[in-house]
């Protein structure tokens, strides 16, 4: 999908820095990383703001995030986005952690200020903005079901939903034990509201969906053709709001197809990518991110 620097190339920065005009000052790291559309979103934003800098991809192996962060600081970078599988490793490698990132338990945005590494998490706030923009609703007013609550994305959404005080939060995971610790944590954050663990079966989902307003897929299922259905299609209702954190360039995910057939309102993960990216941009440069330029960049990337 796009060029990226290998980690060895990045460590030899003096030999590769000249490839980038304007100079590379922002990056996204992950493993793999070639699929990331973050450059197509952030580079138009930089241009719209008149900032002479470029955003690039760097493939960083697991276990080498601390080394990467030191190199970014040494090479004059201003900030970094962190994606799978590095969000938890990044949490341990920053000098200062934003309180929300600490509560969400992961770092997906790094700001480098006077050599200090400041860690943020924009996934939770980006989720809130996405729900507000797409559905015209506030998460604090919705009964939320999270599919895949045992993973990092599910954790961020669950904790953020509890922090804003959603009245009912249902955590579904294939292995219930993986969500038990999270359930205890979100209960402590929002003790007056209902938190429920759900065994992920069609029968259990069909039983709980009448009590749910917002369904969130926090798994990777739906990314590939042939992935299993997440919920029984007949249990989806026209009043449901369905948020699939997966996005595909070739059409809707199976969950969104089923939800659309049921008359529900839907949104995919591209909107989350947009809003979490906008919040990252605001951490780096202040003010309000040029959302229109970022949205257009993502649309063009999908067309390509």
Catalytically active residues, by annotation: 87
- Packed helices 123-135 and 152-164: angle between N→C axes, nearest 10 degrees: 70
Token representation of residue 230: 């997440």
Token representation of residue 264: 């529900």
- Packed helices 269-285 and 291-303: angle between N→C axes, nearest 10 degrees: 140
Determine whether 136 is exposed, middle or buried from the number of CB atoms within 10 Å of its CB (0-12, 13-18, 19+).
Answer: exposed
Closest alpha carbon to 105 in 87, 127, 126 = 87
Provide the 10 A C-beta neighbour count for residue 20.
14
Do the Cβ atoms of 69 and 129 come closer than 8 Å?
Answer: no
Closest alpha carbon to 179 in 146, 208, 131, 215 = 146
Token representation of residue 161: 């939903």
The rounded distance, in Å, linking the Cα atoms of 250 and 19 is 32
- Considering only CA atoms, give the Rg of the chain: 19
Strand partners, 161: none
DSSP-derived secondary structure for 72-92: HHHTT--EEEE-TT-HHHHHT
């Amino acid at each position: 999908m796009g060029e990226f620097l290998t980690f060895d190339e990045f460590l030899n920065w003096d030999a590769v820095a000249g490839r980038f005009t304007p100079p590379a000052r922002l990056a996204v790291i992950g493993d793999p990383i070639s699929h990331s559309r973050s450059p197509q979103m952030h580079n138009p934003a930089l241009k719209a703001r008149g900032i002479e800098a470029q955003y690039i991809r760097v493939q960083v192996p697991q276990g080498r995030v601390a080394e990467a962060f030191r190199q970014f600081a040494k090479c004059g970078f201003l900030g970094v986005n962190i994606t799978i599988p590095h969000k938890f490793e990044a949490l341990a490698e920053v000098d200062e952690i934003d309180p929300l990132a600490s509560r969400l338990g992961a770092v997906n945005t790094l700001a480098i200020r006077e050599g200090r590494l400041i860690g943020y998490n924009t996934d939770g706030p980006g989720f809130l903005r996405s729900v507000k923009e797409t559905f015209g609703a506030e998460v604090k007013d919705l009964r939320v079901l999270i599919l895949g609550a045992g993973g990092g994305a599910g954790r961020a959404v669950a904790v953020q939903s509890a922090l804003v005080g959603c009245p009912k939060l249902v955590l579904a995971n294939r292995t219930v034990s993986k969500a038990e610790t999270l359930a205890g944590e979100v209960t402590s954050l929002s003790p007056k509201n209902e938190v429920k663990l759900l065994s992920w079966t069609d029968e259990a989902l069909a039983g709980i969906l009448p009590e749910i307003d917002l369904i969130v897929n926090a798994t990777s299922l739906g990314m590939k053709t042939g992935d299993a259905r997440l919920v029984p299609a007949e249990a989806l209702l026209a009043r449901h709001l369905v948020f699939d954190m997966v996005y595909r360039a070739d059409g809707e995910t199976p969950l969104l197809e089923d939800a659309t057939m049921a008359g529900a309102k839907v949104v995919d993960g591209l909107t989350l990518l947009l809003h979490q990216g906008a919040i990252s941009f605001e951490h780096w440069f202040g003010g309000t991110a040029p959302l229109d330029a970022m949205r257009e960049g993502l649309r063009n990337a999908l067309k390509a």
